Amino acid sequence: MALAIGIWSLKLTPGKVETFQPPADLKITNVALGDALKDASGRTTVKLTFEPSGGFHGEDEDEEIPKPVTTVLCSLKPDTLEQTTIDLILQEDETYKFELVGKNTVYLTGNYIEQAVNNPPFDDDDDSDLGSEEDAYDLREVSSDVEMHPDDLDGLESDASRFEEVEEAPKGLKRAREADEEPEKPSKAEKKKKQKTETVQATDVTPEGKKKKEKEASKEKETPKDKEQASKSKATEKEIAGGIKILDAKIGSGPLAKKGNTVRVRYIGKLTSGKIFDKNVKGKPFTFQLGKGEVIKGWDEGVVGMQVGGERKLTIPPAMGYGSQAVENIPKNSTLIFEVKLLEIK
């Protein structure tokens, strides 16, 4: 979660380009017309020019440096729209240029922020285990203070429990002398028992009996675990806004997560190398408000649409993560991979 550490403002004057380089990360939250208007009916547009993030931080020296990009933040008009709220983060030591198209003065307001405070992946519960192997964690094994359905625990069983061990009778152990001996004649009691068994077997080989047996056998074989495995095999990765890739390993059965909801999750964060840089697999679940900028953009977009009880893999490109900023165990321009389990929506 970003922490505001100081207020900031900037006055934009018509006809003058304001070049600004933030001494720390900065979030602009409001754009408003000044109290004195030179043009009471005209529109004033705020334009921003910046260098694309990550384009000039590559290791390849021959890589072409991208050109600055100019975009429009907003347009204000007296008596129609005199102020608006935005959510724009300017990175420390980067250069930005603001200019106005119009005759009225405009004020920008916001806060200096600290982005590395409680942002996932940064939970202090288990910092000592960051070097653990990725195979040491499984979201289906984590604890939770939210009640879980017994079917959710099926994945904890060993795969060996799904197979029966069949012992085959040794071949070729029958002695030739025994094979040549004539079988003994069955007694009357044995004849009656054999006749009764054959009657039952004859009943079972009718078409109705066969269908009943096949139906019962298919029911016994089909377990919740098999259903879960079948759904996982059909899961396909898809790409959403911002280049984020999502893969639903398990579809939940609870409510759907929407922007504005407060959600509680478990997660494991990895680099593309497989190294785990952060996790929340036990203790107090990580809680945040979806779509409000409390977490990286990849989470705000990637968790939307999950259902309670579901598990999703998020592959987040640098632009939707921490970009060119190196944060603790995460190098700059890193693609991040998260395995997320949605526990509850408040």
The DSSP line for 215-252 is HHHHHHH--HHHHHHHHHHH---EE-GGG-EEEEEE--
Q: Alpha-carbon distance 302 to 237, whole Å?
A: 12
pLDDT value at 33 more than 90: yes
Per-residue model confidence as pLDDT tens digits over 83-112: 999 999 998 889 999 999 999 999 999 999
Q: What mean pLDDT comes out for the span 49-74?
A: 72
pLDDT value at 10 more than 60: yes
Q: Alpha-carbon distance 197 to 208, whole Å?
A: 19
Q: What mean pLDDT comes out for the span 198-206?
A: 53
Written as six digits, the tokens of 79 are 């008596």
What's the Cα-to-Cα distance from 250 to each of 157, 243, 257, 268, rounded to whole Å?
A: 17, 22, 15, 16
Per-residue model confidence as pLDDT tens digits over 262-297: 999 999 999 999 999 999 999 999 999 999 999 999
Written as six digits, the tokens of 172 are 């070729």
**pLDDT at residue number 201:** 55
**Could you tell me how far CA 41 lies from the centroid of its own chain?**
47
**pLDDT at residue number 283:** 93
Quote the Cα angle for 180-183-185, to 5°. Answer: 160
Closest CA to 338 of 165, 147, 121: 121
Written as six digits, the tokens of 250 are 């398990």
Q: Alpha-carbon distance 40 to 35, whole Å?
A: 11
Which of 168-172, 205-209, 278-282, 306-310 is the least confident region?
168-172
Are 244 and 305 in contact by the 8 Å Cβ rule? The answer is no
Task: Provide the angle, in degrees to the nearest 10, between the axes of the packed helices 207-221 and 188-204.
Answer: 80
6 pLDDT band, cuts 50/70/90, is: confident
Which of 36-45, 111-120, 239-248, 273-282 is the least confident region?
111-120
Enzyme catalytic residues: 267, 277-278, 296, 322, 338
**pLDDT at residue number 57:** 46
Report how far apart the first and last C-alpha atoms of the chain are (Å, whole number).
Answer: 18
| Greater model confidence, 133 or 292 | 292
What's the Cα-to-Cα distance from 211 to each of 214, 247, 331, 344, rounded to whole Å?
A: 5, 39, 61, 43
Q: Alpha-carbon distance 239 to 17, whole Å?
A: 38
Residues contacting residue 178 through CB under 8 Å, at least 6 positions apart: none
Q: What mean pLDDT comes out for the span 104-124?
A: 74
Q: Alpha-carbon distance 342 to 265, whole Å?
A: 5
Are 77 and 99 in contact by the 8 Å Cβ rule? The answer is no
Number of Cβ within 10 Å of residue 127's Cβ equals 12
Q: Mean pLDDT, the chain, as a whole number?
A: 78
Q: What mean pLDDT comes out for the span 246-274?
A: 93
pLDDT value at 39 more than 60: yes
Q: What mean pLDDT comes out for the span 31-48?
A: 93
**pLDDT at residue number 114:** 85
Q: What mean pLDDT comes out for the span 251-261?
A: 92
pLDDT value at 55 more than 70: no
Are 288 and 294 in contact by the 8 Å Cβ rule? The answer is yes
